[in-house]
Chains A and B, each alone.
Chain A
Amino acid sequence: MSGPTPTVEARLRRLLAVLGWLSRRKGASIADIALRFGMSEDEVVAELELAACCGLPPYTPDQLMEVLVDDQRVEANLGADLARPRRLSGAEGFAVAASARAILAVPGADPDGALARALDKLESALGEHRKVTVDLDEPPLLAEVRRAVEGHRQLRISYYSASRDEVTDRVVDPLAVFSSGGRWYLDAHCHRAGGLRHFRVDRIESAHPTGETFEAPAPRAVPTEVFEPGPDVRVATILLPASAASVTDSYPVRSMTTAGDGRVRVEVAVGGEAWLARLLLVAGEGAEVVSPPELTGVGPRAAAAVLARYR
């Protein structure tokens, strides 16, 4: 792996990490170190040869770090101090505590298990206790869906599509379950759509194994954006009252500018008419679609449909 030349800061952090790790295990193959720390083998050799020249005055051999690099392996005999855990910066402490809390919030996690104990010890050392809390929701079918992912079991699901405001039945091969932005999603191959789709687990109304299993493909990383515009996605320009600008926090906004009358003008990728209707109704008076023309009636129609329920 070779990327751009790392900065001095990044190299120093990495070297200290490698030395700390080596000091606990005495030796390792160069290939192993390269893999674990995201370096090329040449970088490993160069950095450790450099470390072999570091130490304390008077820099006689007995005061230098004992690092021996041959063509495949590194042998190291380093002081116990290097193996000690180091203080975390504020950002690091937060990242570790939040990560551990998130995993503990996953339904089914053991509240008294190894992770909970580790976190207790870490938080005590950081001088805080249970001050970072992560709540992940727990939709009723989450456990069922996770079991299907683990067992590669095909499911027949009844799914509510919010963007189209309809419920459809589909057969899916469940590939992965993950939580993003506080919601649980199922990544699955959908036989109805003929491709990979994300499903919100809290919108799955029922899930039953079909009895079939499927061959699991290689694991894939969580997509950075859960909202994946399909072929029927259109871009709309809408005006929103300034008081509702924050509504767009949870929508895929492409651009946002201030209109002459104090409203904000946003461009959004429209997932479906029901989705757009919801955005407009929540934004309230002054919310309107400017273009495309076939969507300008969505807001008034949706408002009228809801009002009809009140008459």
Chain B
Amino acid sequence: MDRVERLTNLLLVLLDTERPLTLQQVIHTVEGYPPGRDAYRQAFERDKRLLREQGIVITVETVDGEAGYRIRPEDYYLPDLGLSEEEQSALNLAVAGVRIDGRSAEEAVWKLGAVPTAATVLADLPSLPALPALHEAMRSHRTVSFEHRGQRRTLDPYGLLFRFGSWYVVGMDHDRAALRSFRVDRITGAPTPVEGATFAPPGDFDPSTAMPEDPWRIGEGEGVAARVLVDAFHANLVAAELGAEAVVERRPDGSAVFELTVVNPGAFRTWVLGLLDHAVVLAPEDLRRAVVDWLEPLAAR
């Protein structure tokens, strides 16, 4: 007998039963198990493992001193989402329009009761091995521990944010007792739940406001106002990036002076150097000096 047939029957039987079924009852009810106690026990164990690997929850309860198995409908089905046809098809289109982790998104749409639609891919998001574990921890309000840039971190994950082309996990850092964000692609290994540690997420948490929009604003403290002169060549692109309100002076030659709040000098330096010799830090003196000190050893080579 084809194993898929046996598995389908096993699934239907475990889902249909109101009382947990013992191994003996399963073997007698579902066709296709081999004779011989060791053989059918092993075959059943393999089937059970396969179903569990598919994310199907098989509950084990004791029946007359023996283990009994069933699949509780509330574990198998989603509560009715009550999606209108329009909402369902919008969701399908969204999944088809984003490439993130091909297979799991496609099968998720299957499970929601629809079929992927052919659509032009509009956005491409990186998929990282640590993301599902972090998402699961966030959903189940479990504290996680992970290795980030060589340091062990313990975090209550409140949210996941995609910004500047990277995924960040935002939450309460236990060691620093403060809200922190970590780049997910800098996490090595799998995040693991901390045994028995759960948390109550803040009700009004919004990951997008918990993290500043510009890299040079991420960090500790108030920050300083920095002024940068940008050549005409780049002034329009920089104005588009920072917003017109960042322009504090337009010069006749087309160049412009921008004001930025800098909390993270390293990120600020990276941004300024990205403009090569089309930009120069005007103030404050220590940020200006830092750029010069950074470049002098490179120029001396």
Provide the A269-303 mask, 1 if CB < 8 A to any CB of B, else 0: 00000100110111011111000000000011011
Assess the A274–B78 pair: CB atoms within 8 A: no
Please, which residues of chain A bring their CB within 8 A of the CB of B8? 12, 15-16, 50-51, 54
For A135-174 the 0/1 string (1 means CB < 8 A from B) is: 1100110000000000000000000100001010000000
Known A102-B162, A284-B298; contact A55-B76, beta-carbon cutoff 8 A: no
- Let me know if A131 is at the binding interface, CB within 8 A: yes
Contacts of B100 in A (CB 8 A): 95, 98-99, 102
B111 with A300: CB separation less than 8 A: no
Inter-subunit contact B294/A285 (CB<8 Å): yes
CB distance B276 to A281 under 8 Å? yes
Interface size on A, residues (CB 8 A): 110
Residues of A within 8 A of B122 (CB): 103, 106, 177-179
Q: Taking A131-B205, A300-B301 as contacts, is the C-beta distance between A87 and B4 under 8 angstroms? A: no
A221 in the interface (beta carbon within 8 A)? yes
Residues of B within 8 A of A307 (CB): 292, 295-296, 299
A contact face: mostly helix, strand, loop, or mixed: helix
How far in angstroms is the closest Cβ of chain A from B14?
11
Q: How many A-B residue pairs have CB under 8 A?
A: 327
Neighbouring A residues of B20 by C-beta, 8 Å: none
A304 at the interface (CB under 8 A from B): yes
Q: Interface size (B, Cβ < 8 Å)?
A: 116
Residue from B9, B57, B76, B90 within 8 A of A54 (CB atoms): B9
A132 CB contacts on chain B under 8 angstroms: 135, 159-161, 207
Q: Does B163 contact A (CB under 8 A)?
A: yes
Contact status B301-A180, CB under 8 Å: no
Cβ-based interface call for A117 (8 A):
yes
**CB of B145, distance to nearest CB on chain A (Å):** 17
Partner of A87, one of B77, B99, B277: B77
Contacts of B237 in A (CB 8 A): 160, 202-203, 205
**Contact of B131 with A by CB under 8 A:** yes
How many angstroms between the C-alpha atoms of A249 and B89 in the bound complex?
36
The smallest beta-carbon distance between B28 and chain A, in angstroms, is 9
Is A213's beta carbon under 8 Å from chain B? no
A235 within 8 A of B: no
List, in ascending order, chain B residues with CB within 8 A of A47's CB. 4
Contacts of B83 in A (CB 8 A): 118, 121
| Nearest CB of chain B from residue A59's CB, rounded to whole Å | 7
What 12 additional pairs, Cβ within 8 angstroms, besides A16-B8, A304-B299? A54-B9, A56-B16, A96-B105, A103-B98, A103-B123, A118-B90, A131-B138, A131-B139, A135-B213, A182-B163, A250-B165, A288-B301
**A-B pairs with beta carbons under 8 Å apart, 27 shown:** A12-B8, A20-B110, A36-B115, A37-B115, A50-B4, A59-B31, A87-B76, A88-B108, A94-B132, A95-B104, A100-B91, A102-B94, A103-B98, A114-B84, A114-B86, A114-B87, A115-B87, A115-B94, A122-B112, A132-B159, A132-B161, A133-B160, A136-B123, A176-B120, A180-B124, A181-B165, A304-B299
Binding site for B on A (CB under 8 A): 8-9, 11-17, 20-21, 24, 36-37, 47, 50-51, 53-57, 59, 81, 83-104, 106, 113-115, 117-119, 121-122, 125-128, 130-136, 139-140, 160, 165, 167, 176-183, 202-203, 205, 219, 221-222, 246, 249-250, 274, 277-278, 280-282, 284-288, 299-300, 302-310
The 6 A-B residue pairs with the shortest CB-CB distance, nearest first, are: A182-B165, A90-B136, A92-B108, A17-B110, A118-B87, A303-B299
